A = this chain, B = another copy of it.
Amino acid sequence: MNLNRMEQRISAEDIANMDKRYRVNFINSLPGFKSANLIGTHNEVGHTNLAVFSSVIHMGSNPALFGFVTRPTVVPRHTYQNIQTTGHFTLNHIHPGIFKSAHQSSARYPDEISEFDAVGLTPIYSEKIKAPYVSESSIKIGLELVEEHNITANGTILVIGRVLELFLNEDIIGGDGFLDLEKAETVCISGLDAYHKTQKLDRLPYAKP
Contact A179 B149 (CB under 8 A): no
Given contact pairs A139-B30, A209-B108, A177 touches B21 in the complex (Cβ within 8 A)? yes
Of B33, B55, B100, B135, the residue contacting A4 (CB under 8 A) is B135
A155-178: which have CB < 8 Å to B? 156, 158, 160, 162-170, 173-174, 176-178
Residues on B with C-beta less than 8 A from A178 are: 25-26, 29, 191-192, 194
Residues on B with C-beta less than 8 A from A198 are: 33, 188, 190, 196-199
The verdict on A82 contacting chain B, using a C-beta distance below 8 Å, is no
Main secondary structure of the interface of A (DSSP, over half): mixed
Chain A interface residues (CB < 8 Å from chain B): 1-4, 6-12, 15-16, 18-37, 54-67, 69, 91, 93, 96, 99-100, 103-110, 113, 118, 124-127, 133, 135, 139-141, 146-147, 149, 151-154, 156, 158, 160, 162-170, 173-174, 176-179, 181-182, 186-188, 190-209
